[in-house]
Amino acid sequence: MNIISMTMSIFTAVLMYQGINQILAIFIESLNEWYRCLIQFGHCSIYIICMQLVIGNIAGMIGEGGGTESLDESRWTIADGLRADFGRELDPVEVEQVRNKTGIRSVWIDSYAVEVPVMKIKVELQGRKRRMRCWGMLLAHMSGFAAISAGGELQHTELFSSSPYMTLIPVVITQAVVQIFFGISHMFRRSIMKEAIRQGGKGRRVLLCHENVVEAENDVSSLSMSFLTAQAIRFFISGVFPNIEGLEAEPEMPKTNSVIMEFLIDVSNIRIVRHRIGALVRAGTKAIRTIIQVANSISAASGSPLLPAGDHKEIAREGTRSATEGEEVLAIPSRWFPAHKVGKLRVDCW
């Protein structure tokens, strides 16, 4: 039952707050940014006050007598989690069918002669705790979302949205405002507690209310602080400040026709570049080939080398004959031309 209550509370809180806040935003969108911040903080305070009052009423601290007899009374309930009536309280006739009435756990014989597990629990106390948790979580989440909207409005003012470091100041301001409301409610509960003790009571219902209220207040504080801090961190990392809902502005997408035209232009440019590069390579190849042919023709006609070999050793071959040391042969560096024939001598390039 607690899981079902928690799930329904969270989803209901999201839907209810979004609907109410959208209506509120319509009326305040034309106001000054500081007025919008004040209204959002007032909106948040309404949920916090409602949370305090509802939990106090369910606990019996507000609008109920100070007796605690009903909270401590134990009754038989169905303890079979697979049954649709799990947790149902047995009526007096059904209690007579419980096998062992002296213990805490036993079995109940139903009308079909089936043994059903039953358990004796404090029905009123458990029911109040469950309702306080349900309504506390519902109003705590709505209060947390309202605190996020108030802090977000404050972060997006011209003063605080100038830098990522300035956006951290509204986080502190929001927590300070929320904690002021929490402190006032704590003083109110403490005064009721003192009055109950003065009248000879134990303040059982006040303690029950305080336990659930503090848990709800922690949810409000943690929700608002975590979201607003994450907004500031995202602004610091990316340099783009998200809006109040945490969304960043989407870049403008180009139209389909312009995308197709840009693609075709890119393809044509690639073809032009490839054609020009190919033309340059072919022209360079022809020039190198022409130089080689001219060099071969000159050397063959004159019989003189293009470059003297000097005193270094160079091996030239004509068939199987080797050139002797000191004989001048054509020596063409390999970094200029590959090995080739010049006249009747085959020159090995170096």
DSSP string computed for 306-322: SS--TTS---EEETTEE
pTM for this predicted structure: 0.65
pLDDT at residue 314 tops 70: no
pLDDT at residue 62 tops 70: yes
Domain identity same for 190 and 232:
yes
In 3D space, the residue among 104, 108, 130 whose CA is nearest the CA of residue 117 turns out to be 108
pLDDT at residue 54 tops 90: yes
**209, 238, 267: which is the final residue of a domain?**
238
Domain identity same for 269 and 289:
yes
The least confident of 10-24, 201-215, 292-306 is 292-306
Are 350 and 331 in contact by the 8 Å Cβ rule? The answer is: yes
**238, 268, 289: which is the final residue of a domain?**
238
Question: pLDDT-derived band of residue 264, with 50, 70 and 90 as boundaries?
Answer: low
Domain identity same for 229 and 341:
no
**174, 209, 238: which is the final residue of a domain?**
238
111-138 per-position pLDDT tens digit? 888 899 999 998 888 888 888 988 999 9
pLDDT at residue 228 tops 80: yes
- Phi, psi of 347, rounded to the nearest 5 degrees: -100, 125
* Arithmetic mean of pLDDT, 76-86: 88
Domain identity same for 231 and 285:
no
**What does the block give as tokens for 306?**
């293009």
pLDDT at residue 14 tops 70: yes
Q: Which residue has the higher pLDDT, 169 or 341?
A: 169
Distance CA 57, CA 205 (A): 10
Domain count for the chain, please give it: 3
Distance CA 52, CA 209 (A): 9
Return the number of other C-beta atoms located less than 10 Å from residue 288's C-beta. Answer: 12
Q: Which residue has the higher pLDDT, 288 or 211?
A: 211
Domain identity same for 14 and 107:
no
Looking at residue 340, what is its pLDDT?
Answer: 47
The least confident of 133-147, 198-212, 256-270 is 256-270
Supply the range of the domain harboring residue 37. Answer: 2-72+126-238
Question: pLDDT-derived band of residue 53, with 50, 70 and 90 as boundaries?
Answer: very high
Looking at residue 180, what is its pLDDT?
Answer: 95
Specify if 253 maps to a domain.
Answer: no
